[in-house]
Amino acid sequence: MQVSIEATSNIERKMTIGVPSSQVEQEVEKRLQRTARTVRLNGFRPGKVPMNVVRRRFGDDVRQEVLGEVMRNAYVEALEQEKINPAGYPQFEAKQLESGQDLEFVATFEVYPEIELADLSAIAVEKQVAEIADADVDNMLDVLQNQSATFEEVSRKSKDGDVLTLDYKGIIDGEAFEGGTAEESKITLGKGQMIPGFEDGLVGMGAGDEGALELSFPDDYHAENLAGKAVTFEVKVHKVEEPVLPELNAEFFEKYGVKDVDEAGFKAEIKKNMERELKQATRNKVKQSVVDQLIATNEFAVPASLIDSEVDRMRQDAFRQFGGGMGGNMKASDLPAELFKGQAENRVKTGLLFNELIAKNELKVDESLVDARIEEMAATYEDPSEVIAWYKSNPDQRSQIEGVVLEDMVIDFVLENAQVTENTVSYEEAVKPPSQAPQAAKESE
C-alpha cells in the first residue's frame, strides 16, 4: 500500500492511498463465490447458478461494496502506519476505480491542532468571598415559607404580595392589540410579571374595582411593534387573596426532608445547604473566568468536524429537553446549527485546552479527591452510605466523577499560576449567576 500526505492547512490533511488491484479483485471474487453458493435465481437450482451469471447480475454491486470497505480499511491502516491521530471522520474521493488497475483514492481529514499554551501568569481572576450571615438564613427561611404559602380571599384593598384575579384589556391608539387582553388572570403584586407600572397601578384596588392604567411599553420591549408605545390597560378586579404562611413546625420541616429538629435545627440545615450552594456558585464563576481567559489568550484552529459533532450533541440534548418534538415530525437535526455553533466551538476549544494542560503538566486524577467529591454529593441524600456504595459498585459512574475532578484539578493548576484577587461580596451577590442582570422589561400576561 502506497501512502502520501499533503498538509493543506494547519489542521487539514489530504492523504493519497494506493491499493494493489489484486487485493481488490481477490475480495470481489471471494464474495461472488460466496454469493453463488447462496443466491436463488429462477431457472437454477440453489448453489448451481453459473459464475458468469452471478458476475453479470451482482458484480457491480459487490465491487462497490468491496471498494468502500477496502478504502475504509486502507485509511485506518495508513493512519496507523503514519502515526496520525485524526479529528473526526474523513471524506473519500476516488481517483482510480477501474477494474484491473490499482485502486487510488484521497482521504481528506482534520488533525488535532498543535497548541502552544500562553503564559498562565497573564490570566487575572477575581474570586468572590462571602459569609453567610444570620440575616441570610432568615431570608432563605422566608423564601421557603412563601413557597409553601396558601392564599385566602380578603375583602380589603390590595397590597404587595397579594394575588389578584382580574380582567384586563390593553388599548393602543383606540384599538385592542393582540396578546393584550386576558380574563380571570392571576397576578402576584410586586413580582414584576408585567410591564413597569402595571402592578403598582393595581395596589390599593379591591374586589369589584375597575380602572384604567396609563402606561408605556419599554423602549427595548421584545415585541418591536409595541416597544415605546403608550398603552391604556382597562382593568377589573374580581378577587384579592393574601398569602398565609405555614407554621414553623415539624410538619413544615419534614416537607424539606429534615426530621426531629426544632426551628434552630432547621436553620442549621438551611445554612449547610446555603454553604454548599455558595461554594458551588463561587467555584463555577472562577471556573468560567478561567475558561474564558484561556480561550481568549490561546488562538488556534479548531477542527470543524469536532465542532459539528458537538453541535449534534447539543441538538440532541435540546431536543430531549423540549420533549422530543412534542410528538410531531420534527427531528433533532431540524434545529438550526447556528443556534449552537458558538457555544459548541467554545466547548471544543475548552476541551482541547484542558487536554493540553493535562498532558503538558502530567496531571492525574487524585482518587482521594474523587472520594471526597462523592462524599460531598452523598451528604445531600437521606442515606449517604448507600450513595457512596452505589458509586463504588458502578465504575462508569465513578469515572464521570473522575472527569469532573480532573477538570477541577486543571482549574486549580491554572489558578496556582494566575493572578488571583479576592473580592468580598454579599451571599446574594455570590450565588447570583454571572450572566444574570436586571431585566428592563417584562412581557404582559
Cβ contacts of 121 within 8 Å, gap of 6 or more: 417, 418, 419
Predicted local distance difference test score (pLDDT) of residue 42: 72
Distance (Å, whole) CA 214 – CA 115: 60
Cβ–Cβ < 8 Å for 94, 16: no
Cβ–Cβ < 8 Å for 286, 106: no
Q: Is the dihedral of CA 280, 281, 286, 289 positive or negative?
A: positive
Digit-coded pLDDT (tens) for 284-335? 999 999 999 999 999 999 999 999 999 999 999 988 887 665 456 678 888 8
Digit-coded pLDDT (tens) for 146-155? 999 999 999 9
Does residue 185 carry a pLDDT above 80?
A: yes
Does residue 245 carry a pLDDT above 80?
A: yes
Half-sphere exposure of 312 (CA within 13 A, CB side): 7
Average pLDDT of the segment spanning 181-192: 94
Predicted local distance difference test score (pLDDT) of residue 440: 31
Reported for 196-200, long-range contacts at CB under 8 A and 24+ positions apart, including other chains, are 196/441, 196/442, 198/233, 198/444
Average pLDDT of the segment spanning 379-406: 92
Q: 263-291: b or e for each residue (b if 16 or more CB lie within 10 Å)?
A: eeebbeebeeebeeebeebbeebbbebbb
Distance (Å, whole) CA 91 – CA 296: 31
Predicted local distance difference test score (pLDDT) of residue 406: 96
**Strand 419-424 vs strand 124-129: parallel, antiparallel, or unpaired?**
parallel
3-state secondary structure of 190: coil
160: left (phi over 0), alpha (psi -120 to 50) or beta: beta
Average pLDDT of the segment spanning 132-149: 95
208: left (phi over 0), alpha (psi -120 to 50) or beta: left
Rounded to two decimals, what is the model's pTM? 0.75
Residue 18: other Cβ atoms inside 10 A = 16
**Strand 175-188 vs strand 12-19: parallel, antiparallel, or unpaired?**
unpaired
Domains and CATH numbers, the chain: 2-111 (3.30.70.1050), 150-244 (3.10.50.40), 262-431 (1.10.3120.10)
Distance (Å, whole) CA 357 – CA 115: 10
Longest dimension (CA), the chain: 99
| Range scoring the smallest mean pLDDT among 35-39, 94-98, 410-414 | 35-39
The proportion of the chain whose per-residue pLDDT surpasses 70, expressed as a percent, equals: 95
Predicted local distance difference test score (pLDDT) of residue 380: 82
Cβ–Cβ < 8 Å for 70, 23: yes
Intra-chain end-to-end CA distance of the chain, in Å:
70
* DSSP secondary structure letter of residue 229: -
Model confidence band, residue 445 (pLDDT cutoffs 50, 70, 90)? very low
Does residue 441 carry a pLDDT above 70?
A: no
- Put the strands of the sheet holding 86-96 in their side by side order: 2-7, 12-19, 103-111, 86-96
Distance (Å, whole) CA 240 – CA 188: 10
| Range scoring the smallest mean pLDDT among 18-32, 249-263, 399-413 | 18-32
Cβ contacts of 70 within 8 Å, gap of 6 or more: 19, 23, 24, 27, 103
Average pLDDT of the segment spanning 353-368: 95
